Structure 1
Amino acid sequence: MSIHNKIDKIGRVQVPPPRKTGAEWLVGVGFRCWLAGYDTGDIACWETGWNAYARVLGAERAKRAVTELACWVRAVRTSASRKIEYYPFGCAGFCRDECMAISLIAASQHHRCPAMRACALALTGSSLVEPVIDAANAFADALQEADQLLSPEAVAALAAPLDGAGRDCRTLRN
């Protein structure tokens, strides 16, 4: 534990939030926090995600974005034929599945339908991607309404090189 981490009253390590606040970072961190919340049942994961969104967007604009985020992550989990991977909250980079999720939302915002479908298929490992695409579109729209536009280059992260172990999208490191 670093000197900057604190321990709350029930023994959980409180990690300071990462400093990045771009749209890609917001999608990746939200995806990470919501998956962790569903997997562990620990509400602190969702609180961490909510706090990141409220800090960047303000509480009012965060409400819709977080609602759509939760629906999208639920659709991904429901459609997935495999376990979706994610890094712990404090990690500086994003794993392959997190990068794919970011690419999916970027593809939606930039109306790249074939790329959206490819990202959804790769992320879930399933051909039942229509609910994932519908939820991704709603989440992407909510982010755009909150002035969070992902870069068109984030769509290209689908083909970005990974290190030998398949970790960390180089183009989306934060």
Structure 2
Amino acid sequence: MANSASNTSVQHVRRSAKVVPLPARAPERLVGVGFRCWLAGLSTGDIKCWEDAWNTFSGMLGPDNAKTLLLDLSKFVRAVKASAQRDIEISPAGCRSFCRDECLAISIIAACQHNERQALTASVAALIGTEDIGDTLNGALALAAALRSANQLLCAESVCPATCALRAQRRRLM
């Protein structure tokens, strides 16, 4: 099911689709919540979504770090949205857990930081629904580096194994 980049929409998941509780670790929460808020803002045009991202980042890291990181987050999310050949799912604002696509976004950034190339490429392809991952990969690498510079290192355990990401992609294609 291929959608053009211009009509790729955000789908809110139902309660039963939640798969991972909101992590207590700040780096994972920043990526997951930031991804959710920024994608919702791009899809709805509602400035409150971006304000939620700003409040999360600036509350955890201070306004100077938040500015830098949100710029890189924006580039990553815009690349995901522009490259996606399917609808990207996000949980509603304030949800206390992450859905599969939010977990894939976290996995992508963690894989960048831990140089897990196979898991990285599989997670990006699973998230956007295509093997054409270049722009999304570049955005992810920039965000991962900016997070590292701000001393926000995601856990290696946050990397989704390549086989897991590939199974998620196959389920979507059926």
Give 3-state SS (helix, strand or coil) of 1:85's partner: strand
4+ residue runs over 2 A deviation: 18-21, 156-160
2:121 alignment counterpart: 117
1:126 CA drift (Å): 1.1
What letter is aligned with 2:60? V
How big is the alpha-carbon RMSD for the aligned residues of Structure 1 and Structure 2?
Answer: 1.9
Rounded to whole Å, the distance in 1 between the matches of 2:50 and 2:65 is: 17
Please give the per-residue CA displacement for 1:55-105, whole angstroms capped at 9, x wherever unaligned. 111111111110000000000000000010000121111000000000000
- Is 1:149 the counterpart of 2:153? The answer is yes
TM-score, scaled to structure 2: 0.78
- Is 1:84 the counterpart of 2:102? The answer is no
Deviates more, 1:19-28 or 1:106-115: 19-28
For 1:13-162, list aligned pairs within 5 A. Answer: 20=24, 22-156=26-160, 159=164
Q: Which stretches in structure 1 are left out of the alignment for 5+ residues?
A: 1-17, 161-165, 167-174
Check whether the contact 2:119–2:161 (CA below 8 A) recurs between aligned residues: no
TM-score, scaled to structure 1: 0.78
The one of the two structures with greater contact order (alpha-carbon pairs below 8 A, sep at least 6) is 2
Rounded to whole Å, the distance in 2 between the matches of 1:138 and 1:19 is: 22
The count of aligned residue pairs is 144
Please give the per-residue CA displacement for 1:22-56, whole angstroms capped at 9, x wherever unaligned. 11111000000001001110011001001100011
Q: Which stretches in structure 2 are left out of the alignment for 5+ residues?
A: 1-21, 166-170
Please give the per-residue CA displacement for 1:104-139, whole angstroms capped at 9, x wherever unaligned. 000000011111110000000012111101110000
Who wins on radius of gyration, i.e. which is larger?
A: 1
Rounded to whole Å, the distance in 2 between the matches of 1:21 and 1:99 is: 14
**Larger relative helix fraction:** 2
